[in-house]
Chain A
Amino acid sequence: GNSVTQMEGPVTLSEEAFLTINCTYTATGYPSLFWYVQYPGEGLQLLLKATKADDKGSNKGFEATYRKETTSFHLEKGSVQVSDSAVYFCALSRSSGGSNYKLTFGKGTLLTVNP
């Protein structure tokens, strides 16, 4: 079945540091890939997505490139801010027919950015 593996956290960085959160997946066919972010006490927000190989998703300075050859979708940001402190989830969606696009999530990575 489908699965997503994220790097274990927590990750602690200083403001303006470079961020990488690794994500690899196992799926048949061509899944769509997502990064969601969960700020403390809040729900999940879509951060970025990519729907086919070599696509790059980007939003708010975050980027991730869909690499089919390595089955990866690593999240990067060049300069993190304290406000980026949150839990980040990598997820995939693979239709099994019709309009079923259930998401399979990784375990999440807690990021803490210190001033």
Chain B
Amino acid sequence: DSGVTQTPKHLITATGQRVTLRCSPRSGDLSVYWYQQSLDQGLQFLIQYYNGEERAKGNILERFSAQQFPDLHSELNLSSLELGDSALYFCASSAGQKETQYFGPGTRLLVL
């Protein structure tokens, strides 16, 4: 158990819908990362937050957004969903200045 929690574990929805994925980092970790894992793209970095502020963006679509709240949990919002958004979404956390990221169990999203 990494100490990072993600909810829900599975999510099935329809095209055009909007969903919210939630992540709680390890106790004391200030940095949260979101990654997408798909068969064709592999594991790709989406976005990073540190202590409530956005710090880096990767291959994140404009239809996707995220935020980190004062209690340090983070949410990833996916809107106008398409079939191709079906993937595993991982959250990871790390301490402020250290590099090791610890991953949550992921949310498996299926868009029908």
A residues at B contact (CB < 8 Å): 32, 34, 36, 42-46, 49, 51, 89, 93, 95-96, 98-108
A-B contact count (CB 8 A): 64
Which residues 50-69 in B have Cβ within 8 Å of A in the complex?
Answer: 50, 55-56, 58
**Quick one: closest B residue to A106, CB to CB?**
B42
| Cβ contacts A to B, 24 pairs, < 8 Å | A36-B103, A43-B90, A43-B103, A43-B104, A44-B90, A46-B100, A49-B99, A49-B100, A89-B43, A99-B94, A99-B97, A100-B48, A100-B50, A100-B56, A101-B94, A101-B101, A102-B33, A102-B45, A102-B56, A102-B58, A103-B35, A103-B92, A103-B101, A108-B43
A43 touching B50, Cβ below 8 Å:
no
| Nearest A residue (CB) for B30 | A99
Report the minimum CB–CB distance from A50 to chain B (whole Å): 11
Verify if B25 is at the interface (C-beta below 8 Å from A): no
Q: How far is the CA of A45 from the CA of B106 in the complex (A)?
A: 12
Q: Is the CB of A101 within 8 A of B99?
A: yes
For residue B15, CB closer than 8 A to chain A, the reply is no
Q: Are A108 and B2 in contact (CB under 8 A)?
A: no
Q: Which residues from B are CB-within-8-Å of A42?
A: 105
- For the complex, count residues of B whose C-beta is within 8 A of A: 28
Q: Which of B77-110 contact A (CB under 8 A)?
A: 90, 92, 94, 96-106
Identity of the chain A residue whose Cβ is nearest the Cβ of B55 in the assembled complex: A100
7 new A-B contacts at CB < 8 Å, known A100-B50, A106-B42:
A44-B92, A99-B31, A101-B99, A101-B101, A102-B58, A105-B42, A108-B43
Residues of B within 8 A of A45 (CB): 2, 103
Known contacts A96-B56, A98-B55, A99-B31: does B45 contact A104 (CB below 8 Å)? Answer: yes
- The smallest C-beta distance from A34 to any residue of chain B, in angstroms, reads 8
Contact of B48 among A36, A43, A46, A102 (CB under 8 A): A102
Query: B101: which A residues are within 8 A, CB to CB?
Result: 46, 93, 101, 103
CB nearest neighbor in A for B98: A101
CB distance from B42 to the nearest CB of A (A): 5
Closest to B106 in A: A43
